[in-house]
């Protein structure tokens, strides 16, 4: 069985953050028509960039939104995370709107229409001397699911974006790591982020999805990082598990995640 797969690397994280084309020499392999393209299909390109570039690249210069975990527990057997929000480097004398951008919806949605932050930077529901009540948001994250937020001032002059993966899937070895992030709810498109590798290296990777193997290489940037986009689904199978191992001179981290077919 063949699976549709993006087998080449999205170049350097540093390159991505300044808005340069996401993919270099991208290959898409389908069951009946392998093809080589110089970029991702437009809709997929948008989905991936809106995860990779979410944060500093789309924020007002010097402004930062920090998401801090306040509580971790369970609800109905699932992980329950509660987060606080803190702002630095942004004007405090005005109101903001907090938007959330789940991977399950096509556009950001309003989480709270009117928020501000106090002298400590803590995001508050009301504009007052004391942060009462503070903004505190709880959610039930799937493994590898990214949560995106953006804070936009009422005058439109300040925007601050942040992304957090509260239930990460990360494999580590000898100081290197590979993380699998959901691009789609079913994990039938996956974003792999590597860190701690030797800059300039081009290590091989192996992907074993539901028994089907795929081999390729990734390009490590000057920061020792790489980004790889994969289609793990195997034709004829409704679900499966993909294990990806990167084999470099310094380390061999491996990460596994479960996917379901979107069809």
pLDDT tens-place string over residues 243-252? 999 999 999 9
pLDDT at 6 over 80: no
Residues 63 and 48 in one domain: no
Residues 61 and 159 in one domain: yes
Residues 157 and 84 in one domain: yes
pLDDT at 4 over 90: no
pLDDT at 125 over 60: yes
Q: What average pLDDT score do residues 76-102 get?
A: 95
pLDDT at 131 over 60: yes
Each residue's pLDDT tens digit, 212-245: 999 999 999 999 999 999 999 998 999 999 999 9
**The pLDDT value given to residue 262:** 79
The mean pLDDT value of the chain amounts to 84
Local confidence band at 164 (pLDDT 50, 70, 90 cut-offs): very high
CA nearest to 102, candidates 70, 136, 71, 139: 139
CATH of the domain at 251: 2.60.40
**The pLDDT value given to residue 15:** 23
Residues 171 and 50 in one domain: yes
Q: What average pLDDT score do residues 28-56 get?
A: 64
Tokens (6 digits) for 16: 């991505």
Q: What average pLDDT score do residues 97-107 get?
A: 95
Residues 105 and 148 in one domain: yes
**Count of structural domains within the chain:** 2
**The pLDDT value given to residue 129:** 66
Residues 158 and 61 in one domain: yes
231: left (phi over 0), alpha (psi -120 to 50) or beta: beta
Least confident of 33-37, 48-52, 183-187, 259-263: 33-37
**The pLDDT value given to residue 126:** 75
Q: Which residue has the higher pLDDT, 144 or 13?
A: 144
**The pLDDT value given to residue 133:** 87
Residues 159 and 171 in one domain: no
Residues 70 and 139 in one domain: yes
Of all residues in the chain, what percent carry a pLDDT higher than 70? 84
Domain limits for position 74: 56-164
Residue at a domain's end among 127, 142, 164: 164
Residues 95 and 222 in one domain: no
Local confidence band at 128 (pLDDT 50, 70, 90 cut-offs): low
Q: What average pLDDT score do residues 180-206 get?
A: 96
Residues 50 and 60 in one domain: no
**The pLDDT value given to residue 39:** 61
Of all residues in the chain, what percent carry a pLDDT higher than 90? 75
């Amino acid at each position: 069985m063949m699976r549709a797969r993006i087998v080449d690397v999205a170049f350097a994280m540093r390159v991505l953050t300044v808005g340069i084309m996401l993919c270099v020499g991208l290959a898409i392999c389908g069951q009946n028509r392998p093809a080589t393209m110089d970029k991702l299909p437009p809709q997929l390109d948008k989905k991936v960039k809106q995860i990779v570039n979410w944060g500093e690249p789309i924020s007002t210069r010097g402004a930062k939104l920090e998401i801090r975990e306040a509580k971790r527990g369970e609800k109905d057997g699932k992980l329950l995370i509660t987060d606080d929000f803190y702002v630095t480097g942004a004007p405090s004398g005005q109101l903001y709107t907090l938007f959330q951008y789940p991977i399950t919806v096509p556009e950001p949605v309003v989480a709270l229409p009117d928020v501000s932050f106090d002298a400590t930077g803590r995001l508050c529901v009301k504009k007052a001397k004391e942060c009462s009540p503070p903004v505190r948001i709880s959610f039930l994250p799937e493994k590898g699911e990214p949560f995106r937020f953006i804070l936009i001032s009422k005058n439109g002059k300040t925007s601050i974006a942040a992304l957090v993966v509260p239930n990460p899937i990360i494999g580590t070895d000898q100081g290197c790591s590979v993380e699998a992030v959901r691009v789609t709810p079913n994990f039938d498109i996956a974003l792999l982020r590597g860190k701690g590798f030797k800059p300039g290296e081009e290590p091989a990777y192996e992907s074993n999805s539901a028994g089907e193997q795929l081999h390729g290489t990734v390009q490590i940037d000057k920061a020792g990082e790489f980004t790889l986009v994969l289609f793990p689904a195997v034709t004829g199978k409704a679900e499966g598990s993909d294990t990806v191992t990167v084999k470099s001179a310094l380390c061999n981290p491996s990460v596994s995640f479960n996917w379901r077919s979107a069809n």
